[in-house]
Amino acid sequence: MAKKLKIADWLVHGGHQYEFFKTGHDFFCSKINGNAPSPRDFGRPRNENVNYVKEERLTRGRYDIIMVRTGIKPHRYKPVRYKKRPSVGIAVMQTHTPFSVPSWVKCIVWNSKDVMVKYMQTFRGKKHFYIPHGFDPDEFQNFYVERNDRVLSAVSLFERRRNLLGFDEWKWVSDKLGNCDLLGHGNDDLKESIGSFPLVKLVRTYNKYGVFLNTTTKSAMPRTRAEALMCGSPLITTNNFGIDKYLVHGKSCLFANTKEDMARQVKRVLSSKSMQEDLGEAGREAAIKYFNIKKYIERWNQVFKEALR
């Protein structure tokens, strides 16, 4: 897309939006509470094309596009939208169930095709697009270093969101094996917690572990699973929301849907360095094929083009 667009947005998920801002347009971004974000809030390098502003300044601008995200009350979009000519609304669905969107939203972008197919008829008259995650393989690297004999999972606010993310299964595996660590914020009460890290340390952390375990049950397309794949982490994951369209059991990952199977597969992978290497290499190849930043940017620019027709 040749023309640079002016886009209003709210900071809801720093990791997702860091990649989204790589589309290169001029973004004006406020926090959910109306304050101006800090680049540190994203846990990523600064996107130079993003203006971090208070919402009161955001409402004074004129925009081509307004991003509609979960957690933002509809009345907050109104003063941003009407500035001589209405802006076009694009809603982003990153959950297993959709949120309601204002009537003026023209396009809805989903990060799970299965969820999109299930719910798109709920939003008649809207244009629907599926865009999975997009990562830069030069940022999320496989360092080909010796990995430890521990298990990493990455979930924020894990216990609070236990029914969505398979907390009880993960805790059973952790207690049984005794070698599990947990990445992510909001987990300070858990002994397995190691905190959350900015991008460079995050990539190094993924590269340390012999297994990455994803236990999510109702998270449509968990971002950390794709990050770990891109870093060559041997992956054990629940099989839901169409992930088997991208990953092959026994080649690019191992599927496990029960706590007992998770524990068994973890032991199996940690006992074999060759299996770790094979799973990690094939997983990274799949991530580069399906979740790369170039395709992600191309897809988003196509959405912008369709929205402005």
Which sequence spans correspond to the domains of the chain? Answer: 6-134+292-307, 151-290
Task: Confirm if 64 and 85 have CB atoms less than 8 A apart.
Answer: no
DSSP state of 21: G
Phi/psi of residue 74, nearest 5 degrees: -55, -35
Q: Classify domain 151-290 by CATH number.
A: 3.40.50.2000
- CATH code of the region 6-134+292-307: 3.40.50.2000
| End-to-end Cα spacing for the chain | 13
Global model pTM greater than 0.85: yes
Query: Which residue, chain included where needed, has tokens 């580069």?
Result: 288
The answer on pLDDT for 1 being more than 70 is: no
Asked if 96 and 115 touch (Cβ cutoff 8 Å), the reply is yes
Cα–Cα dist 103/79, whole Å: 15
Let me know if the fold of 6-134+292-307 is the same as that of 151-290. yes
Which tens digit of pLDDT belongs to each residue from 128-186? 999 999 999 999 999 999 999 999 999 999 999 999 999 999 999 999 999 999 999 99
pLDDT of residue 235: 98
Q: How far apart are CA 96 and CA 89, in angstroms?
A: 21
The 10s digit of each residue's pLDDT in 198-233 is: 999 999 999 999 999 999 999 889 999 999 999 999
